[in-house]
Structures are given as structure tokens and as C-alpha cells.
A = this chain, B = another copy of it.
Amino acid sequence: MITHENFATEPWQLRETALDLDVLAQSESVFAQSNGHLGWRGNLDEGEPHGLPGSYLNSVYASRPLPYAEAGYGYPESGQTTVNVTDGKVIRLLVDDHPFDLRYGELLAHERVLDFRTGVLSRSAEWTTPSGRTVRLTSHRMVSLAQRAVAAISYSVETVNGPATIAVQSELVANEQLPTASGDPRMAAAVESPLLPEEHYAHDTRLRLVHRTATSGQRVAVAADHIVRGPAGTAWAAESEPDVARLTVTATLEPGQRLELVKFVAYGWSAERSLPAVRDQVEGGLAGARTTGWQGLLDAQRACLDEFWSSADVEVEGDEEVQQAVRFGLFHLYQASARGERRPIPAKGLTGTGYDGHAFWDTESFVLPVLTHTAPYAVASALAWRHSTLPRALERARQLGLDGAAFPWRTINGDECSAYWPAGTVAFHVNADIAAAVERYVFATGDREFYRGPGLDLLVHTARLWRSLGHFDADGAFHIDGVTGPDEYSAIARDNLYTNAMARRNLRAAADAVSRHPDRAPDLGVGAEEVADWRNTAARTAIPYNQRLQVHEQSDGFTDQEPWDFDGTSEDQYPLLLHFPYFDLYRKQVVKQADLVLAMFTCPDEFTAEEKARNFAYYEQLTVRDSSLSACCQAVLAAETGHLRLAWAYTREAALMDLDDLEHNTRDGLHMASLAGTWIALVQGLGGLRRIRPAPETAPQDRPSGFPQAAGAEAPVRFAPRLPSSLTRLAFNIRVQERRIRIDLGRSTARYALLSGGPLTVLHHGTRVALTMDAPTDLPVPPAPDSPEPRQPKGRAPGT
């Protein structure tokens, strides 16, 4: 249910059929376009009205001092905030001197369509001026996936009911006025006038502005060129000032006549290169765009997306909304990452300023798992970015008195920007999440060069962090004290199970990686003693368990804490963090987002099936899902424990997070992790995809050579597919050990097809299945076990 009446449910498009200014900011986010390098929000061509004007270049930011009323050692002194760079989208229109502004006159027709296969945002509008003249406007906009510096707009206006004098102003605008930020701590801090002018230029149909960011000294250049077509008498002139460059095109149109404009825009930035160098860079990009031409850009865009969808598409039959949502999500994930090229993938992509434009653990834990199967080169790029920040992470660890690397909780440039250490600095699990992303990528793609290079570096330095962070007790158990896990309603805990289990995984992955690349061990200073110590530490890492309740503990003592008073908490007191102090949330049993439940997903072999069922039921009653990261994880465990109705409800919640604006902050940008979560819920939840961990007892040298895989190598992954009653079919592709596999799942049968690579054995509901290229294999889907459905806190059950 895409509840907003203006949006239609279609399999390959997001279509808006009427304009509601109250949800304009949300629509700007869902219609945002990006290639991972450049992002444009779906602002109206004419610039106003807007919810939040937004043009972003990945890693262009403002620095700001972080204020502390009471300072402390090791607190980050400087924060970073993504800034709205020069806006190249603006095309203003005057009709008989009336500014085309939808807040005046009368809007007769409106439609915007974002097509997931063409990668083009199309708009059509019919509007009558206050004096009665009606015009029809169409535009098509793209941020090029093929030419990463380039965006382009095809714009056309015609008059409907009589002659009109038309002026079109195509602009580059720097330092746009922004709406003031709200008091919500999740809103990005407002950054006003972030750009200092360096150069402006206008000639014929060409425009250019060069600025430097005021606080971080990054040089940003934007250039535009235009193709103008209009009736006889069409004229234009270009002019520029420090913060605006403008091409004004004028024409008098009779009905049936059109004024058409193609606008090519090129962006470039550098923290190092000179003004002439950056200027030439954008002029070069612009020349490339002109040469390709509008149709050429359209064709290349389509080609990129065809390639993506050929391996990424997920087919969902029985729920049109989820079918649309999973494609919407994959489309945006692809946009956020396709051309990132060693830059971060922020939590909101390049769709808004939410979370200050920072990247978090979400990227490695939610976004990269999906991209590993659908666009693996984007994973290599994102991990290369992490690797490029390794020197800062090593330095941060030194500052904190730790060995190895301590990657930041939130950042743009690699420096820690979290000013609240209980949920920032000590959320050390981000390091294990990065290590897991390395492991996962290598396992799926077999990228040898990455594994022996940046992958090994990341695994070794994160392993060293864990070893220095924890300690052995008198009984020989390894404990990690004073850390915060994924659940942000707990903090500074002993032995957070997710953290410990992921640290164990990290230590083993590092040991395996060193064993496989003994030639690189000397560079890293890793000897046999250290590797043996990692393995021993992993084997002895504490996993807290409450014997009386027969459930695992989210952290040591968690299950002894006072339960939250859910019955005394009203609907309007959610999210709890806006209505209760942290200390109260921290000391009680209340879970913001999947934590132990996430551990059961990412470290499935730490738990028996019975433990998973009991744990899931226990934590379900405590989990309030005040985070958009939660629903998809709960969907996965609900599916695994056989609660398919519940799994489906969580899947839909993850899928509709942004389309239905479930957290009321889609205006600030899309939730990349939740968009990824739709895929996760479908493929890893309903499909039951899990990697099988190599038996820890087996030293890697005893196993067949090659990449990490299950002992014996026969069954590196398992599936346990089952559909909820709402669905009739689910089909998707995955990558595993350099192979591609397609799973086509019906209500009673699952078909496995090996699309590429050598023969492979997988598990289907515990049964070994040998896959070859010869023919697909059909297997029956067993019914789910019958057990009572877990309950959620009052009022927090997922919608249906």
C-alpha cells in the first residue's frame, strides 16, 4: 500500500499524478537522482517551491567545530556536514512576465515519473497564469550513470490557449537559501553559505561557476552548455555573477510552437587541484556530454541499467507494492553506489542532508551485502574508500590507547564525527562490520587482488583492535567491556553478544586471510604467534546466555534489567529517544533495533535452531523498531523461525519505509539501509540464504586451497526458501564463490539454476543439492513448523 494517493503502484516506475506541496520534500527524496558521485534531489525545475533544494558531490563537506559543554579527552573536535553545492538543475520560466510558480495561477495537470529502467525523471505540467494563459511544460532529467561528472535536462515549453511571451532562465546557483533546520537531532545541521566564489563565466550558451568550500577548502566547479531550439525570433543571452550564472532564452510562442532546451551540466571538485585544473576538468566533462548528445546519454543510461537489472532484479508476484518497492530500492542503491569510486556510500546516499551526509556501519552491514550480489564493483569501490581512510583509523586507535584500526562511527572524510561517545566511539562493532563486508565480498566474487591487498589490511588491523579492546578473565574467557552494540537503546555494556560474535568472526577471518597470504604477513608484522592468538581469542570469546530463561543475552546482564513499561507508554511517545532520557532507556530491557536478532542473522552458526526460536520470541517482545534498520532483520529471523506472516509484515515495513514515509523523515533523504533491507528480507529472509561458516576447528591449511569456504567445500551456502501466503512467486539471482545462481521460488517448489561457474553443492532446507549448468533443479518446499507467533510490545506490531 503506497498510501499517498498521488503515487501509483507500477512495477518499473514511480509515478506521481498530482502535486501536494505538503509532501514536496518527501517527493524530492524519492525522485532524487544520483550516480554515487553527483546527486540531485528531485526539485522542481524552476527551483521553487521546494522542500529542500539539494545538489551534492560525494565527499564535499563543510567542517564545523563540535561544541561540548564539558569536554573530554579524545572527543572529536571537528564535524563534517554535506553541503548543498552549486545547483545546476534550475530552469526558471516566465510566461507573459508571470513567474511559473505552482503556488500561483492554476495547475491543470501534473505528472512526474521516475523510470527504473531508463534512469530518467520525466515531468509534465499544464499551468495557467493568473492572467489566463495556459502553457504545457515537459522535462526529462538524468544524472548520468555512464559519464559520472555529467547531468542533463531536456526541457520544453509550449503554449496552449493563445500566444505567449516566454522567457526561460537556465541557471547555475551557488549558496542557495535553505529552509531552517528543525530541532530534531536527526536533522542535519544547517550550513549556510558554504561556498566562497572563485570565478564566474558566461558566454553564448555556456555558463561556469567555480567556488571553494569555506571551511574545508575543497574547490567545486560547475559548467553548463545548452542547445536551444525555438521559433524564429528566439534569442538568448548569458551573464554571470559570483553566485549565479544564467542563460536567458526568450521567444514568443503561438499555440503549437515550442521552445526547447537541452542543458548539459558537468561537475568537478578537488581538494588538491588548482583552479585551472578543476575548470578544465569540468569543461572536459561538458565537452564529453555535448559529444555524446542527449540521445546518446539516454542510450548509455539505459544500457547501464539493463546491465544492472540483468543480475539484480527481484521478481515478486502477489504484492505489486513490494514488487515496485524492491525495484525502487535497488534502483536507488545502484544510484548511490554506481560511480562512487572510492568515496563513501552515505546513509542517505546523495538524496538529502539527513545524518549530515555521514556514512555509518549501515553501509557495510546492509547496503554492501545487497550490492555484493547485484553490483559487486560498487562494493570494491566502497571498501577501497574504507581502506583509503585506514591511516586515520590507525591514528584514532592510537589516540584511544588501542591497537589496530578504529574506524569512525560516522564520517565523510574518515575522521570520527560522532560527538556522543556512548553511541559513537564505543560502537566498535563498525570495525567487525567492515571486516565482514570484506569477507562477504571476497567469498562472493573471488576478487583475489582485493583480498590480498586492501582486504587483508582491513582484516588484520580490525582484528588487532579487538584483541587490544578485550581481555581474558581468570577462567580464560575473553570479554569485551564497555561497548555499544547495534541497539541504540543500550550502551556501554559488557560482552554485547553481537559485538563479541562479530569480533570472533573478524579474528578468524583475519587469521584465515594471513594464512592464505603468508607472503604479505611480514609487511603487516603478523607472525604465527599473533595468528594463533587470534584463533585462541576467537575460540574463547564470551557469548552471554541466561540459563534460567534459556535465552541468549544481548549483553551481559541484559535479561536481568528491568523490563520497559510498554503498557504505560503511549503511541505518541515513540520514538522513545525523543521522550525519555538515554539513561532510562539504557538501564531497562527495551530494544530500539535488532541487535541479538541481527547477530543470529550475521553469525547464524553461534545458535541452534531452538535457541533462535526462543531468542527471537524473547527479543520480539522488547523491540520497538525506532530505527529503520530493524524491520528487515526481524523479517529474516521471523522467516527463519517459520513465522511467515510476521516475516511478510516486516518485509513490507522495510519496503515501504520511504515510499510511505513511515519514520516521517524521508524529506531528509532516503534510508539506504532500509531500501537494502527489502532485498535482504526477500532473499535472506524468504529465500533463507546464508553462508555456511568454515568449521573453526579446521585450520585453513587443511582445507582445499582457494577462497574461504565451508569445510569440504561441498556446500558453501544454504537456502531455506518459503513464501508467505500473500505471495505466489519470488525470483532472484545471487553470487557465491564466483558463481551466479538463480532461485525461482513458488508456493510449493523452488527451482535452482546455476547461471555461471563450475558445479556447486548447496543446501536446500538441509538437503544437499548439486547444481550444474546442465539444467535447473526443482525441489519441494516443506511447510513451516507450526508455533505460536511471537508478540511485540503494545502498539508496535508491524502493520499488515
Known contacts A73-B578, A419-B70; A425 and B557 CB within 8 A of each other: no
Asked if residues B586 and A492 are in contact (CB atoms below 8 Å), the reply is yes
Q: Which residues of chain B are within 8 angstroms of A79 by Cβ–Cβ distance?
A: 69
| Distance in angstroms between the alpha carbons of A561 and B493 in the assembled complex | 12
Taken together, the copies of this chain in the complex come to 2
The residues in A between 404 and 444 inclusive whose CB is less than 8 angstroms from any CB of B are 418-422, 425-426
Known contacts A70-B418, A557-B557; A581 and B474 CB within 8 A of each other: no
Asked if residues A74 and B581 are in contact (CB atoms below 8 Å), the reply is yes
A786 lies within 8 A of chain B by Cβ: no
Determine which of B70, B185, B583 lies in contact with A71 in the assembled complex, contact meaning CB atoms within 8 Å: B185
Asked if residues B67 and A401 are in contact (CB atoms below 8 Å), the reply is no
Q: Which residues of chain B are within 8 angstroms of A71 by Cβ–Cβ distance?
A: 183, 185
The residues in A between 572 and 603 inclusive whose CB is less than 8 angstroms from any CB of B are 577-584, 586-588
14 contacts between A and B (CB under 8 A): A66-B69, A67-B68, A72-B582, A73-B578, A73-B579, A400-B581, A400-B584, A422-B492, A481-B562, A482-B586, A482-B587, A492-B586, A492-B587, A556-B557
Asked if residues A581 and B73 are in contact (CB atoms below 8 Å), the reply is yes
Q: Which residues of chain B are within 8 angstroms of A579 by Cβ–Cβ distance?
A: 73
Known contacts A69-B420, A70-B185; A426 and B492 CB within 8 A of each other: no
Q: Which residues of chain B are within 8 angstroms of A103 by Cβ–Cβ distance?
A: none
Asked if residues B492 and A73 are in contact (CB atoms below 8 Å), the reply is no
Asked if residues B481 and A587 are in contact (CB atoms below 8 Å), the reply is yes
Give the bracket for the number of chain A residues in contact with chain B: 35 or more
Asked if residues B482 and A581 are in contact (CB atoms below 8 Å), the reply is no
CB distance from A508 to the nearest CB of B (A): 22
Asked if residues A492 and B491 are in contact (CB atoms below 8 Å), the reply is yes
A523 lies within 8 A of chain B by Cβ: no
Chain B, Cβ-Cβ closest to A469 = B587
| Distance in angstroms between the alpha carbons of A582 and B587 in the assembled complex | 19
A479 lies within 8 A of chain B by Cβ: yes
Known contacts A401-B584, A583-B426; A67 and B70 CB within 8 A of each other: no
| Distance in angstroms between the alpha carbons of A483 and B588 in the assembled complex | 12
Q: Which residues of chain B are within 8 angstroms of A587 by Cβ–Cβ distance?
A: 481-483, 492, 494
Q: Which residues of chain B are within 8 angstroms of A482 by Cβ–Cβ distance?
A: 583-584, 586-587
Asked if residues B426 and A474 are in contact (CB atoms below 8 Å), the reply is no
| Distance in angstroms between the alpha carbons of A561 and B577 in the assembled complex | 29
A319 lies within 8 A of chain B by Cβ: no
A548 lies within 8 A of chain B by Cβ: yes
Q: Which residues of chain B are within 8 angstroms of A419 by Cβ–Cβ distance?
A: 68-70
The residues in A between 470 and 508 inclusive whose CB is less than 8 angstroms from any CB of B are 471, 473-474, 479, 481-483, 491-492, 494
A280 lies within 8 A of chain B by Cβ: no
A530 lies within 8 A of chain B by Cβ: no
Having A69-B420, A70-B185, A421-B582, one finds 12 other A-B pairs with CB under 8 Å, namely A67-B68, A70-B418, A71-B183, A71-B185, A72-B581, A426-B583, A471-B562, A479-B560, A491-B492, A492-B586, A494-B557, A556-B557
Asked if residues B578 and A421 are in contact (CB atoms below 8 Å), the reply is no
Q: A54-94 interface mask toward B, CB cutoff 8 Å, 1 = contact, 0 = none? A: 00000000000011111111100001000000000000000
| Distance in angstroms between the alpha carbons of A492 and B583 in the assembled complex | 8
Q: Which residues of chain B are within 8 angstroms of A185 by Cβ–Cβ distance?
A: 70-72
| Distance in angstroms between the alpha carbons of A494 and B588 in the assembled complex | 11
Chain B, Cβ-Cβ closest to A425 = B583
CB distance from A428 to the nearest CB of B (A): 9
| Distance in angstroms between the alpha carbons of A481 and B555 in the assembled complex | 14
Chain B, Cβ-Cβ closest to A185 = B71
| Distance in angstroms between the alpha carbons of A483 and B418 in the assembled complex | 23
| Distance in angstroms between the alpha carbons of A68 and B75 in the assembled complex | 13
Determine which of B401, B481, B561, B583 lies in contact with A580 in the assembled complex, contact meaning CB atoms within 8 Å: B401
Asked if residues B474 and A73 are in contact (CB atoms below 8 Å), the reply is no
Asked if residues A561 and B481 are in contact (CB atoms below 8 Å), the reply is yes
Q: Which residues of chain B are within 8 angstroms of A583 by Cβ–Cβ distance?
A: 400, 421-422, 425-426, 482, 492
CB distance from A513 to the nearest CB of B (A): 27
Q: Which residues of chain B are within 8 angstroms of A580 by Cβ–Cβ distance?
A: 73-74, 401
Asked if residues B548 and A474 are in contact (CB atoms below 8 Å), the reply is yes
CB distance from A498 to the nearest CB of B (A): 17
The residues in A between 154 and 191 inclusive whose CB is less than 8 angstroms from any CB of B are 183, 185
| Distance in angstroms between the alpha carbons of A584 and B480 in the assembled complex | 11
CB distance from A487 to the nearest CB of B (A): 15
Q: Which residues of chain B are within 8 angstroms of A66 by Cβ–Cβ distance?
A: 69
CB distance from A462 to the nearest CB of B (A): 18
| Distance in angstroms between the alpha carbons of A422 and B491 in the assembled complex | 11
CB distance from A556 to the nearest CB of B (A): 7
| Distance in angstroms between the alpha carbons of A580 and B399 in the assembled complex | 8
Chain B, Cβ-Cβ closest to A493 = B492
Q: Which residues of chain B are within 8 angstroms of A183 by Cβ–Cβ distance?
A: 71
Chain B, Cβ-Cβ closest to A587 = B482
Asked if residues B72 and A577 are in contact (CB atoms below 8 Å), the reply is yes
Q: Which residues of chain B are within 8 angstroms of A481 by Cβ–Cβ distance?
A: 561-562, 587-588
Q: Which residues of chain B are within 8 angstroms of A420 by Cβ–Cβ distance?
A: 69-70, 72
| Distance in angstroms between the alpha carbons of A562 and B467 in the assembled complex | 13
CB distance from A286 to the nearest CB of B (A): 39
| Distance in angstroms between the alpha carbons of A426 and B185 in the assembled complex | 22
CB distance from A190 to the nearest CB of B (A): 14
Q: Which residues of chain B are within 8 angstroms of A483 by Cβ–Cβ distance?
A: 587
| Distance in angstroms between the alpha carbons of A120 and B587 in the assembled complex | 53
Q: Which residues of chain B are within 8 angstroms of A556 by Cβ–Cβ distance?
A: 557
CB distance from A191 to the nearest CB of B (A): 14
Q: Which residues of chain B are within 8 angstroms of A577 by Cβ–Cβ distance?
A: 72-73
Chain B, Cβ-Cβ closest to A577 = B73
| Distance in angstroms between the alpha carbons of A79 and B69 in the assembled complex | 9
Determine which of B422, B471, B560 lies in contact with A473 in the assembled complex, contact meaning CB atoms within 8 Å: B560
CB distance from A800 to the nearest CB of B (A): 31
The residues in A between 351 and 399 inclusive whose CB is less than 8 angstroms from any CB of B are 399
| Distance in angstroms between the alpha carbons of A581 and B399 in the assembled complex | 8
Chain B, Cβ-Cβ closest to A72 = B582
| Distance in angstroms between the alpha carbons of A426 and B581 in the assembled complex | 10
Asked if residues B422 and A422 are in contact (CB atoms below 8 Å), the reply is yes
| Distance in angstroms between the alpha carbons of A72 and B579 in the assembled complex | 9
Q: Which residues of chain B are within 8 angstroms of A69 by Cβ–Cβ distance?
A: 66-68, 79, 419-420
| Distance in angstroms between the alpha carbons of A492 and B492 in the assembled complex | 8
Chain B, Cβ-Cβ closest to A481 = B587
Among A471, A560, A577, max chain B CB count under 10 A is at A560
Among A185, A560, A577, A583, max chain B CB count under 10 A is at A583
